[in-house]
Amino acid sequence: MGEFVRVEVGDGVGTIRLDRPKMNALNAQVQRELIEAATVVTGDADVRAVIVYGGERVFAAGADIKEMADMSYAEMSAHSTLLQEFTTALAAIPKPVIAAITGYALGGGLEVALAADFRVAGEGAKVGQPEIKLGIIPGAGGTQRLARLVGPARAKDLIFSGRHVGSAEALSIGLVDRVVPDAEVYTAARAWAAEFTAGPALALRAAKQAVNAGLEVDLATGLEIERVQFAALFATEDQKTGMRSFVEEGPGKAKFAGR
């Protein structure tokens, strides 16, 4: 598809592959291509889970600073909308999304990973929000998604200091979910994604939407979101299949069609 972002589909898994040498810097073109890739995997019924991957060497070292350095306030005021749109598009993919992190995931690179549901990191990975060292703050969702993931104090520590965090610390604070040897990052992400490909696609979508939307509202509203999503699943084929299989064969044996 795009020059720097492509989608590869196989065995129910769609991989959004960043490929802009040397460091996968996220310029405006890459941001637009990520929006397009998110649209593609969202609309492809053969894709049941998604991996975002930057390759064996680096996930993404951040935004393209050369592109932004001389922008005026008026120019950045317009461009900042795109900065949030591309991570919002990734976060809105209604399927399980796993970020497979090798090397650096810094600034905008970490913000891409934060838009995923889960993060697998290599042992040598380094993550962080170093924007403060440039005299700015994260602008593609970092101040919001990071705080929601690891809590406000830890998010402020990372954002205020701009320091790089190794995979062990990232795992300990919940910034990443699994750490594996560097050479096994993509394989581990594929194995995890495979756990979802035979699942009930509409129920997975409902679960993701209920959790994400519920985090933004009070408990009573969140419970209503859950109730509506729960009831709606009784209009699906997978609900009938799952419950019938449970009654007749016991748990864990249903074969879902994704309808």
Catalytic residues: 111, 131
- Residues of the chain by 3-state class (helix, strand, coil), percent to 5: 55, 15, 30
| Local structure of 254: helix, strand or coil | coil
DSSP state of 23: T
Q: What's the CA gap between 31 and 173, in Å, rounded?
A: 28
User: Which pair of structure tokens corresponds to residue 38?
Assistant: 């998110």
H helices of the chain, in order, are: 28-43, 65-68, 73-91, 108-114, 142-150, 152-161, 167-172, 185-197, 201-214, 219-232, 237-249
Q: Is the peptide bond before 66 cis (omega within 30 degrees of 0)?
A: no
Q: How far is residue 177 from each of residues 85, 150, 167, 174, 253, measured CA to CA in Å?
A: 25, 12, 10, 6, 27
Q: What's the CA gap between 199 and 23, in Å, rounded?
A: 35
Q: How far is CA 122 from the centre of its chain?
A: 16
Question: What φ, ψ does residue 58 adopt, rounded to 5°?
Answer: -155, 145
| Local structure of 151: helix, strand or coil | coil
Q: How far is CA 178 from the centre of its chain?
A: 14
